[in-house]
Amino acid sequence: MSEAPVSNGDLPVLAIDGLSVAYRGEGGLQRVVHDVSLRVRPGEVVALVGESGSGKTTTAQAVIGLLAQNGRVETGAIRLNGADIAHWSQKQLDTVRGRKISLIPQDPGGSLNPVKTIGAQVAEVFRIHREETGRATPKEIDARVIDLLARVGLSQPELRAKQYPHELSGGMRQRVLIAIAVAMRPALIVADEPTSALDVTVQKRILDLIDTLRREDGTAVLLVTHDLGVAADRANHIVVLKDGRIQEQGPTTDILAAPRSAYTRQLLADAPSLNKVAHARPARPGLPSGTSGDGPAIVVESYVQDFPVDHGSARTFRAVDGVSFTVPRGTTHALVGESGSGKTTTARAVVGFQKPTAGRILIDGTDLATLRGPALRGFRRTIQLVYQNPFGSLDPLQTIFRIVEEPLLNFASVPREDRARKVASILDRVGLPQTVLTRKARALSGGQRQRVALARALILDPKVLVLDEAVSALDVTVQARILELLDELQRALGLTYLFVSHDLAVVRQIADTVSVLHDGRQVDGGRVEDVFERPGSAYTRELIGAIPGNRSLAHA
């Protein structure tokens, strides 16, 4: 990262000493953060790193006074510019929130009011802090809003101010949240996973923006992230949390070069962007000829997909334009690109959810466009889809047994005892204990839920799995375990994967071949190692350059 204007003589903007936080539940108080201490100085970025449940977000919420109603600070001090705010009332905290300390939340969609314009939501900050803005007139506030939207890099700021959140992209909405956070030039910004929901190139631009504003204003940043690659690129100091306890902390260069904690070493080992050699998939001889066995598993030829612009309109929008690739049996082909690149549209066509406008798609030698009725239904057994969100794709009212069993009821006439044996067997195959069979999805972790989704997809013995961002919602350590499982399943069962992702670091780990899509067109493709070493397009080079951890590795 760029050097921050930090000196050892600077007093910390934020000083946390011996912080413990607990939540009240049915069994009484349960402590989730234990004796956490850290410092953030002017212009410095300190990263809180850990998995879900590590306590990093709870620590950040305690700092800004946004713990859930059943949460409380038990012990310790939280000093903002020397004043201990750990036990301040909400009314007291309102005097510093936005003005001295502000928050950039994780979800740019859920954090903005859908019925208020962007300009009105940014202007609200100035109206709340009227004393600091010199009791500006509405016209003066409007001018400040426009200037602020321009400062965070939004094009046509006058137009954006009049628009509603749904009219902006995810990256644009996140810029609006940053504008709100920096409006009063606070001393400290708490950035809670500010880019985890964004494509990798958009993520880089947002992090670059935060870095620029930090340098210009000398703002301190407490960065909450599960991604050590992001922390490695952006932080001066890293604090590693696990189960609410600090495992280690220190300068970023020291943590990366010589981690003392076994947990930190595991995080580093699991981060594909920080361990490129270990995570590069070994080359397989003969790829991508597609001549082994009796032909390739997937063939996509000059695929085109148009959608109507409006319902009933003759006008169309071309989402995919002439994409072609071949996937040999037992291998993994990745579709890579940002949101809107056409990768998910292509994946849905491969599964048979939509008929191509032009071109053809063959699965196991069968042209999908020729299938109708029972033939199309029978084809569903050959190819299965695993979705991005393992919680949203599982019925919350059914037990895990019913969820995994359901495809057998829909596609085959299998006796009850045989179904039970098959469900138990497939759970063993994906590494889940039999004890989860009677539970519901909400009682499982994210990694366990994704294993259930895999079990459900595999129980019909398909030949092809389409994995649509199947690990993007998971923490890096859980993600690593799922990728290992996918590799084991492929080797054991001879599966073919079509892997949809925006993350080239993950693609390098799991895929044999890749197609890079941009605005519906294929701009690069071939063996993964060839595309990484010799990218054929400026867009592919941008994707590779945006992988978190690249900057830290370049300076290692």
Q: Are 23 and 32 in contact (CB under 8 A)?
A: yes
What's the CA gap between 438 and 420, in Å, rounded?
12
Encoding tokens for residue 400? 């895990």
DSSP 267-289: HHHH-GGG-HHHHSPPP-TTTT-
CA angle, 280 then 283 then 289, to 5°: 135
What's the CA gap between 42 and 14, in Å, rounded?
9
What's the CA gap between 72 and 212, in Å, rounded?
34
What's the CA gap between 207 and 227, in Å, rounded?
13
The third-level CATH classification (topology) of the domain covering 42-66+91-277 is Rossmann fold (3.40.50)
pLDDT of residue 555: 44
What's the CA gap between 310 and 290, in Å, rounded?
40
Strand, coil or helix: what is 327? strand
What are the distances in angstroms from CA 516 to CA 68, 325, 354, 542, 547? 42, 11, 21, 12, 15
Cα torsion 335, 337, 342, 345 to 10°: value is 50
pLDDT of residue 327: 97
pLDDT of residue 340: 83
> What class is the 298-554 domain?
alpha beta
| pLDDT digit string, tens, across residues 482-541 | 899 999 999 999 999 999 988 888 898 899 999 999 999 999 999 999 999 999 999 999
Helix 138-151 × helix 118-128 angle, to 10°: 110
Full pLDDT tens readout for the chain, 556 residues: 544 444 444 689 999 999 999 999 877 889 999 999 999 999 999 999 998 888 999 999 999 999 989 999 999 999 999 999 999 999 999 989 988 999 998 877 778 999 999 999 999 988 888 766 667 788 989 999 999 999 988 889 999 999 999 888 888 888 999 999 999 999 999 999 888 767 888 888 889 999 998 999 899 999 999 888 889 999 999 999 999 999 999 999 999 999 999 999 998 888 877 765 445 566 555 444 444 456 899 999 999 999 887 766 678 889 999 999 999 999 999 999 988 889 989 999 999 888 999 999 999 999 988 888 888 888 888 999 998 776 677 888 899 999 999 998 887 778 888 999 999 999 998 988 999 999 988 888 778 888 999 999 999 999 999 998 888 767 888 888 889 999 999 999 999 999 998 888 889 889 999 999 999 999 999 999 999 999 999 999 999 988 887 655 444 4
What's the CA gap between 243 and 405, in Å, rounded?
34
Q: Are 248 and 71 in contact (CB under 8 A)?
A: no
DSSP 403-472: HHHHHHHHH----HHHHHHHHHHHHHHTT--GGGGGSBGGGS-HHHHHHHHHHHHHTT--SEEEEESTTT
| 190: β partners | 103, 222
Tokens 């509603």 correspond to 164
pLDDT of residue 5: 43
Q: Are 220 and 236 in contact (CB under 8 A)?
A: no
DSSP 525-539: EEEHHHHHHS--SHH
Amino acid at 301: E
Quick one: how far is CA 443 from the chain centroid?
A: 22
How much of the chain is helix, strand and coil, in % rounded to 5?
40, 25, 35
What's the CA gap between 109 and 168, in Å, rounded?
10
What's the CA gap between 179 and 333, in Å, rounded?
39
Encoding tokens for residue 241? 């949390």
What's the CA gap between 107 and 198, in Å, rounded?
9
* Main-chain phi, psi angles of 552, to 5 degrees: -70, -35
Q: Same topology for domains 42-66+91-277 and 298-554, yes or no?
A: yes
Phi-psi region of 74 (alpha: psi -120 to 50; beta: other; left: phi over 0): alpha
Strand, coil or helix: what is 64? helix
What's the CA gap between 82 and 124, in Å, rounded?
28
Burial of 149 (0-12, 13-18, 19+ CB in 10 A): buried
Read off the DSSP letter of residue 89.
Answer: -
Closest CA to 30 of 60, 56, 58: 58
Tokens 């700092």 correspond to 63
What's the CA gap between 223 and 192, in Å, rounded?
6
What's the CA gap between 197 and 64, in Å, rounded?
22
pLDDT of residue 527: 95
What's the CA gap between 479 and 470, in Å, rounded?
9
| pLDDT digit string, tens, across residues 326-348 | 999 999 999 999 888 899 899 99
Closest CA to 234 of 259, 258, 211: 211
pLDDT of residue 280: 57
Q: Are 466 and 347 in contact (CB under 8 A)?
A: yes
| Domain residue limits, the chain | 42-66+91-277, 298-554
